[in-house]
Structure 1
């Protein structure tokens, strides 16, 4: 009988623990890794695009840094921006000189509803790379150009992310125009900088 009683008490205690919940237990963590560029497998979750798909001559690659055993691995998005167009191209390019990397579609989507900001750990080369960071300011873009500023992003149903660079001249940044580019990327995280409640 005492064995039955101890089993019953253990069962009741476990049920009480399961029913006693705390609001903090239901809140998502304050940060969430979306991408971690630390392996070749992670890099396979991205694909590259450039004006070369339309007769331009820009090139891009995404590789893992070649480092010693004590270094943290990171992805390197690099290449060359060119304003030239392939001679005899059938495409009528209005703008050349762009490269980008876009994540492959998530299995379904990723839910970032509980977060308000994206943070990236990167090391740049002085160029301006395009990606708006506060989630409420994201707008629909294609090849680095705004499609519609009136379309709001639904943070609970994010299907892909992208980074891009172009060869437009900009006196506000140290390096712009055609030429080589290089951006090291360690990770992309979603952050909650405000309270949910």
Structure 2
């Protein structure tokens, strides 16, 4: 049916209202359909030309690095095959069942920093700076730099001013993804020392659909400042779901069987220097915490 016929239809007013409602409020689609975009386009800095080279021309061939990489992959494969003979994750079964605390990341040497990546709005033309180094006696990790919320003058970017520290994706043999299994724990445990700024802790689980690629569970980390360390324990039930910085209405609890990465983001719009020192990051089992999920979950087909 053409648009002109719809306009002359006696129910055109009703159809127009429905069309306007769906256009202005996509979340009102029938069945609670997910309106997040299904395709993903890599970010390109405004003004930067497109890279139209074919994929095979972007590969850098190096025979020496190839031989070294094969040897490293064979060692990982050997560990991957022998660890299950000892127990889950290479630990005896009794130790795995009685485990109540686990240190996942600790910083005891330069090789520990290779597991992390630092980024800031400088990648999109901003002026913030972030650096990562070992603390005193090589026993801690120090994230420091300067935050600047002034957006770049490219005519497109309106907001800026962030710095991020994120762990790299765990890989097993032949660069296959592997995940953290924290189903035996219910609390995130950190020992940090900050400068009084509020941070955002981000947990990225493995997703089953491509449009959930940017789904991240987040919660707040409030640092006290000063020379004293603070032990922070955050239950996993407190983490809320967000997608590209927007909190989602359809909330559900975090699946702890496949955790990919953890990250720390600063974006409080306060220009000036910052620093965050981390001793260790771990998980623990808190028997006093019995909450399953802290937020309301909507049922698409509620029981009558």
- Kept after mapping to 2: 8 A contact 1:48/1:100: yes
Distance 2:147 2:128 in 1: 5
1:84 maps to 150
What is the aligned-residue RMSD (CA, Å)?
A: 2.5
- Kept after mapping to 1: 8 A contact 2:151/2:161: no
2:119 maps to 49
1:74 maps to 140
Distance 1:96 1:122 in 2: 26
| Structure 1 residue 37, shift from structure 2 partner | 1.9
Higher helix share: 2
Alignment map for 1:92-111 (pairs within 5 Å): 92-107=156-171, 108-111=178-181
SS at match of 2:122: helix
| Structure 1 residue 39, shift from structure 2 partner | 1.6
Distance 2:122 2:191 in 1: 28
RCO higher in structure (CA 8 A, sep ≥6): 1
| Structure 1 residue 134, shift from structure 2 partner | 1.6
Alignment deviations for residues 119-146 of structure 1 (CA, whole Å, 9 cap, x no partner) = 1111101111112332122234567x34
Distance 1:166 1:120 in 2: 20
| Structure 1 residue 35, shift from structure 2 partner | 0.5
1:181–1:193 distance in 2 versus 1, CA, 3 Å: same
TM-score, normalised to structure 1, is 0.72
Distance 1:95 1:104 in 2: 26
Alignment map for 1:137-176 (pairs within 5 Å): 137-141=238-242, 145-148=245-248, 150-168=251-269
Aligned residues: 159
Gaps of 5+ in 2: 1-92, 172-177, 202-218, 220-233, 289-304
| Structure 1 residue 49, shift from structure 2 partner | 1.6
Alignment deviations for residues 49-93 of structure 1 (CA, whole Å, 9 cap, x no partner) = 21111121111011101x3xxx46100011111012333x36x22
Distance 1:50 1:109 in 2: 25
Distance 2:283 2:167 in 1: 15
> Is 1:125 matched up with 2:189?
no
2:215 maps to none
